[in-house]
Structure 1
Amino acid sequence: MSATLIPEAASATGTIRRNFWRGVWRVMKRKPSRMAGVIICAGFAFMGVFGPMFYPGNLPGDANQITQPPSWAHWFGTDPQGRDVLALVITGSRYVLLCAAVTAVITVVVGTSLGLFSGFKRGRWDTVLMRITDMKLTIPGLPLLLVLATVWKFGSPIQMGLVLGLLGWGGVARAVRAQTLSLRERGFIEAARGLGLSTRHIVSRELLPSMAPYIAMNMLISVTGAVYAQVGLFFLGVLPYESDNWGVMLNLAVFQAGAMIQPNALGYLMAPLLAILLLTLGIVLVVDAMDEIFNPRLREE
């Protein structure tokens, strides 16, 4: 009997997965902007992973090409050392993207886990975890980063992402807890409890799918927030320039190349700004489709 049920269950699971991915494909095709967002995000991921492999560790400069305007040879011009600005954007993307990814993962995993557990269990655990979260929210992020920068060089994007993630999970935990408190009183959760299902099953199979779009939105906020935070800190000059990234480029473009008053250096300033804008736009377009992907009613409309 069990031998006949197992293949049937596997076939049903495979059918559900195929139908889900077909639904995802229909949702993405419904608006061309969503496909554009996927292409943009995939392009940045490819650039961050493989882009630096096409350039040497230290890009060579050219004394005859110092701070040149955009041209066919150098699409965004050159920097004060005669290096191609587009190449600098590509090589500097790995630090920015890896830091943003680490920050988003830590923020969402820690915040979602604490929020789900606290909101579902309630009682004493809820009180303790929310007091810890409240204490975390009272810690000012920027002054703490400034203090840490005096003793920690943040040469590794993982180090920077770890710090930003540990500083940013409080708001996610609070928001997820509020959503969990609302969902735990719904009929399908009460039915799951009545069937005697475990807490792990209810949280992972019932609550998480319902909150997936909301969690994805927090992922978007975490990624973009991490990009803005690290670029801003490097631009302000509070972190040492031990790695090439977009924030360092912005700082050097304004304070070394004089991009605000010298037209030839404008490409040096605009290239990292356009990269940040394009990355944010791509993520927003992808997340725009997530609510419809995870909501069966919207997919059927």
Structure 2
Amino acid sequence: MSATIVPEAEAGAAAAIRRNFWRGVWRVMRRKPSRMAGALILAVFALMGILGPMLYPDPLPRDTSALYASPSLRHPFGTDFEGTDVLALVVTGTRYVLLTAVVTAVITVVVGAGVGLFAGFRRGRWDTVLMRFTDMKLTIPGLPLLLVLSTVWKFTAAVEMGLVLGLLGWGGVARAVRSQTLSLRERGFIEAARGLGLSTTHIVGRELLPGMAPYIAMNALIAVTGAVYAQVGLFFLGVLPFEANNWGVMLNLAVFGGGALTTTAALPYLLAPLLAILLLTLGIVLVVDAMDEIFNPRLREE
């Protein structure tokens, strides 16, 4: 009977911890209206990425009699060179941009944090080998490599782009997480866990990882921003084929095809994706502001 009670008690305690955590998150977010605004911005972009392409037909309708039409109630950001609604292009292009950014962030954090935790905790030969490999990866210039890869890999799928960006971007996270791990592994609670004979997996997963959760979460959001800039920049430069609708393609066509820098006709076509990038970055910055307080119980209680 006691064997049955113990798991139930543990499950109840875990549920209580989760409830307290989410209550603390809600209090932290409500403490500053800017944080709620950031969360709302990210939620809107997430809905655009998930539901956006479902709201518009594929292909998008064109009105050849309204090329580069001025903003109006029907077309809030005007139309492009084919008479396609610019707002529809921004909304439908969000999925590619966000999916690439999320895949990049996941790979960057998982690989970087995994390598850094393992190297910092084990030290010795494993630490040396992994850090030398990380240093070699950090010396590889990302943009020239992407330019070379674009000649043989068209990146038509967002997952492909995110995979490459993630594999190119985990080195800095690995280095930083290793430094944090080297500092934390000498703390008293880690020595106590070793003295109790707890497994390495338990010590890393239950003792070390929670202490670095704020840093890892912030790096995930920063990786999202970096991935957005990287992919938009590549499409803007025209080194990737325009087979997928996204904000970088819009910027390229607005500047080099529509002459948005020299004429006002294509200016809304240029400003719409720029505004989307600005708002997405702003939302991430405002949410990052709350990360340390969310993961630090002492700060949540103050």
**TM-score, length of structure 1 as denominator length:** 0.98
| Alignment deviations for residues 103-151 of structure 1 (CA, whole Å, 9 cap, x no partner) | 1101110000000000000000000101111111111111111111111
The 1-side partners of 2:134 and 2:121 are apart by: 16
The 2-side partners of 1:62 and 1:186 are apart by: 66
Which residue in the other structure is 1:80 paired with? 81
Cα shift at 1:166: 0.7
Alignment of 1:120-159 (within 5 A): 120-159=121-160
Which residue in the other structure is 1:112 paired with? 113
Which residue in the other structure is 1:92 paired with? 93
| Alignment deviations for residues 3-30 of structure 1 (CA, whole Å, 9 cap, x no partner) | 3333322222222221111111111111
User: How many aligned positions are there?
Assistant: 301
Cα shift at 1:263: 1.2
Which residue in the other structure is 2:236 paired with? 235
Which residue in the other structure is 1:217 paired with? 218
* SS state at 1:45 partner: helix
Residue identity matched to 1:147: V
Alignment of 1:148-297 (within 5 A): 148-297=149-298
**Structure 1 position 62 matched with structure 2 position 63:** yes
Which residue in the other structure is 1:28 paired with? 29
The 1-side partners of 2:60 and 2:9 are apart by: 58
Which residue in the other structure is 1:14 paired with? 15
Cα shift at 1:300: 1.0
Q: Which runs of 5+ in 1 are unaligned?
A: none
Cα shift at 1:285: 1.3
Instruction: Please identify, of 49-58 and 3-12, the stretch whose mean Cα deviation from structure 2 is larger.
Output: 3-12
The 2-side partners of 1:297 and 1:14 are apart by: 20
* SS state at 2:170 partner: helix
Cα shift at 1:60: 2.1
CA contact (8 A) 1:92 1:244 kept: yes
* SS state at 1:208 partner: helix
| Alignment deviations for residues 55-100 of structure 1 (CA, whole Å, 9 cap, x no partner) | 1222121111100121111111110111100000011111111011
Instruction: Please identify, of 4-13 and 236-245, the stretch whose mean Cα deviation from structure 2 is larger.
Output: 4-13
| Alignment deviations for residues 186-216 of structure 1 (CA, whole Å, 9 cap, x no partner) | 1111111111111111111111111011111
**TM-score, length of structure 2 as denominator length:** 0.97
Question: For the aligned residues, what is the CA RMSD?
Answer: 1.0
The 1-side partners of 2:48 and 2:278 are apart by: 16
The 2-side partners of 1:6 and 1:159 are apart by: 43
* SS state at 2:265 partner: helix
The 1-side partners of 2:97 and 2:297 are apart by: 35
Residue identity matched to 2:168: L
**Identity within the alignment, %:** 76
Cα shift at 1:218: 1.0
The 2-side partners of 1:18 and 1:49 are apart by: 28
The 1-side partners of 2:121 and 2:86 are apart by: 51
Which residue in the other structure is 1:298 paired with? 299
Residue identity matched to 1:107: T
Cα shift at 1:264: 2.3
Residue identity matched to 1:75: P
Residue identity matched to 2:212: M
* SS state at 1:275 partner: helix
Cα shift at 1:284: 1.4
Q: Which runs of 5+ in 2 are unaligned?
A: none
Residue identity matched to 2:30: K
CA contact (8 A) 1:69 1:263 kept: no
The 2-side partners of 1:65 and 1:22 are apart by: 51
Instruction: Please identify, of 55-64 and 38-47, the stretch whose mean Cα deviation from structure 2 is larger.
Output: 55-64
